[in-house]
Structure 1
Amino acid sequence: MADIRDINLNRLVIFAAVVEAGSLTAAAARLGLAKAMVSTHIQRLEREVGASLLVRTTRQIKVTEGGRVFYDACCRILQTAEDALSAVSDASAPVRGTLRVSAPHDYGALAVAPALVDLRHAYPELDVELICNDSYVDLIADSIDIAIRLGRLADSSYRAVKIGAFVKWVVASPAFVEKWGKPRSPAALAKWPFVALSVLPHPMTLELQRANGDMKNVRCSSGLQVNTADAARAATLSGGGFALLTDFSIAADVKAGRLVRLLPDWTTAPAGIQAVFPPTSYPPAKVRALIDVFRTRLAVSA
C-alpha cells in the first residue's frame, strides 16, 4: 500500500485535469504546462500510488477502473482543500456583498428582520434582502443564501444549523373566554369554534402534550380556516375562535392580556428553528455571520 508521505499531492490536480479534459494536450493547455511535463507527472503519480490510472493510446486516454475510483477520491480531496482555503480567506476578508434570506411571514417579521438589522449594524458593507414566504423555497433556483425554517425539515442535501426552538399554545381572546369559558381538558375543545391554519398537513387536528408525558389528539369539528399565521392571530384576537399559535408570535399578546392561554399545561411538542443553506464544508462568511447574530440574540434573551 502506498504511503501518503511518498505522494506529491500537487499531481492530484494534474491527474484530475487530464481525466476531465480527456487528453494530455487539453489538460496541458488548461493548466498552462507543457504536454511532456503533464505526461511526466502522471507517470510519477502512477509509480507513487503503485497502480495504473490511465491507459494511453496514440489517439485517446482511458481511465482504468482503479483510476476512476482514484479520480473520485481526488475530487473530494481537492474540493475540501478549496473549501478550507475559502474559509481562511473569508475569515480575514470583510463581510460584504448581498445576503438573500428567506423566512416564514410571522417569524420573518418578528425575529429575522430585527436580526438582519443587527447584522447590518455589524457589517455595513453587506446588503441584505429578506424574502418572507410561507411556501417552500428552492434555495438554488431562487438564489437564496440562507433560509430560516420552522419545524421538521424535509430530507434534502442542504445543511442545517439549529438556531432556536418553539412550541404552540392554545389561546383565545378574553371576549371568547367570557362567552365559552375555559376548557377543563383538551377533549372539550373538539366542538368549540377553531381558527385553523390551512397550510398545515392536518389543520383541524390538535396534537398536544404536557410535561408528565400525557398526549392528546383532538379533532376540531368546526372553524375558520386561514392560510397565514398572521391572519390566524388576527382572527383569534378578534374573537373568531380559539387557536393553536406559536409562542414567539403571541407571547406579547398573552403578557398584555390581549390573548388568554387555555390549558396552560398543554403545548405542542417542541420544534426546531433551523438555518438552512446549500451544502458546503465551509459556509460563506455572510451566512456564518447571520447564524452568529441569531445565537447572540438568543443568548441575550435566554
Structure 2
Amino acid sequence: MRSAGGREINLNRLVVFASIVSAGSFTAAARELGLTKAMVSQHLARLEEELGITLMLRTSRKMSLTEAGLTFHPDCVRILAETQAAIERISQDRQALVGTLRLTSTTDYGVTVLGPALAEFMRRYPKLYVELVLSDEIRDLVAERFDLSIRVGWLRDSSAHAMRLAQCRRWVVASPTYLALRGTPREPGELSAHDWIAAPLLPAPSTLTFIGNNGSRHAVRVRPVAEVNSASAIRELILNHVGLSALPEYLVADDIRAGRLALLLGPDYRLRTAGIYAVYPSQRAPAKVRLLIDHLRQRLVPGPE
C-alpha cells in the first residue's frame, strides 16, 4: 500500500500506532506488543515519515494526538478490524471445506491448465474430495449434480450463472515442414488454398472471421480435409504436417516457442477472442465453489476482449 506521496506503507506500523493510543503510553504498548519501547517509537516515527504527517506529539512526560492523528486513528482501527475479520472469514471457509467438489471441464483445458491449478487448490484444502470429469460435451450441471463447470469458448444462453476467468486467444498454426512444402499464407484469403483441419465444436467450423489492426473484418471459407473433435488431436495432426488449424494459445504456445509450430497471420490479423468461464447452477454458490473461482481468477490473469 502506498501513501498519496507514493511512499510504501508498512501496515504493521498501523498496529503499533493503534496500540500506543489504546494502551496510553509507549511503555504499555511495548509490553502489549512484545517489543522494546525504542522499537515502538521507531515504528511510529517511520509511519509518520511514510505518511508525511505528524500523528502524535510526545515529550518525556506525556503524549497527545495531533489533529491528523485524531482523524487517522478511527480509520486505522477500522482497517485493522476489517483485516482481522477477513482473516477469520477465510479461516472459517478453509475449515469448512470438507465433502466433495464435483466439477467438469473440456479435456484439453482440463489436462493443460486446470489440472495444475486444481492440484494447488487441493494442497491448500486437503480435506476436500475432488471429482473432475473431463468431457468436450456441455454437461447438465443440475441433472449430473456438478458444482461447477469450466467452459472455453462462447457461452450460450443459459439459466446457469457464469463468471469470466480469463481470455483464450486462438492462433492459426502450421508446422514448418508443411509451410516449406505448401507456402506460408500472409493474408486470411490465402487460407482457402490450404488443407484445413476443422473442429466441429466451433460455431462455424469451415468459416473464419479475422479482425485486422484497423478493425476491418475478413471472412474466409476454408477447405477442411479432416474434422476432429479434440484440440489435442488436431495439434498432433498439425505437428505431423497434415494441415493448418486454429488452436487455443494455451495448447500451442510452447510449440511456437520451441519452433515446432509457426504462428500465421499475426500480428496483423486475429481471430475473435474466446473466454474461459466458471459456470455454476445456483446464484448463491457454496464456499467451496467461491474459493475455487477466486483461486482460478488469481492464477489465470484475465485478458482484454
Q: TM-score, normalised by structure 1?
A: 0.67
Q: Which of residues 272, 275, 289 in structure 1 aligns to 2:275?
A: 272
2:160 and 2:186 map into 1 onto residues whose CA distance is 43
Q: Which residue number corresponds to residue 235 of structure 2?
A: 233
Q: Deviations over 1:149-182 (max 9, x none)?
A: 1122111121111111111111000101111121
Q: Which residue number corresponds to residue 192 of structure 1?
A: 194
SS of residue paired to 1:245: strand
Residues 119-134 of structure 1 aligned to structure 2 (within 5 Å): 119-134=121-136
AA partner of residue 198 (structure 1): P
2:192 and 2:301 map into 1 onto residues whose CA distance is 38
- Give the 3 Å change call, closer, same or farther, for CA 200–269 of structure 1 in structure 2: closer
AA partner of residue 106 (structure 1): D
Q: Which residue number corresponds to residue 106 of structure 1?
A: 108
2:91 and 2:295 map into 1 onto residues whose CA distance is 20
Given the alignment of the two structures, is residue 174 of structure 1 paired with residue 176 of structure 2, yes or no? yes
AA partner of residue 119 (structure 1): F
2:191 and 2:303 map into 1 onto residues whose CA distance is 33
Q: Which residue number corresponds to residue 4 of structure 2?
A: none
Runs of 4+ in 1 over 3 A off after TM superposition: 87-93, 299-302
Q: Which residue number corresponds to residue 291 of structure 2?
A: 289
Does the 8 A contact of 1:113 with 1:130 survive in 2? no
Count how many residue pairs are aligned between Structure 1 and Structure 2. 215
Q: Which residue number corresponds to residue 212 of structure 1?
A: 214
- Give the 3 Å change call, closer, same or farther, for CA 137–178 of structure 1 in structure 2: same
Does the 8 A contact of 2:153 with 2:274 survive in 1? yes
Q: How far does residue 222 in structure 1 lie from its aligned partner after superposition?
A: 3.7
SS of residue paired to 1:199: coil
Q: How far does residue 93 in structure 1 lie from its aligned partner after superposition?
A: 4.4
1:223 and 1:104 map into 2 onto residues whose CA distance is 24
Q: Which of residues 161, 164, 167 in structure 1 aligns to 2:166?
A: 164
Does the 8 A contact of 1:90 with 1:284 survive in 2? no
Question: Please, which runs of 5 or more residues in structure 2 have no aligned partner?
Answer: 1-88
AA partner of residue 107 (structure 2): H
Q: How far does residue 264 in structure 1 lie from its aligned partner after superposition?
A: 1.1
Does the 8 A contact of 1:163 with 1:274 survive in 2? yes
Q: Which residue number corresponds to residue 154 of structure 1?
A: 156
- Give the 3 Å change call, closer, same or farther, for CA 92–202 of structure 1 in structure 2: closer
Percent identity of paired positions between Structure 1 and Structure 2: 39
1:105 and 1:172 map into 2 onto residues whose CA distance is 22
SS of residue paired to 1:267: strand
- Give the 3 Å change call, closer, same or farther, for CA 182–142 of structure 1 in structure 2: same
2:91 and 2:257 map into 1 onto residues whose CA distance is 47
**Cα RMSD for the two superposed structures:** 2.3
Q: How far does residue 92 in structure 1 lie from its aligned partner after superposition?
A: 7.1
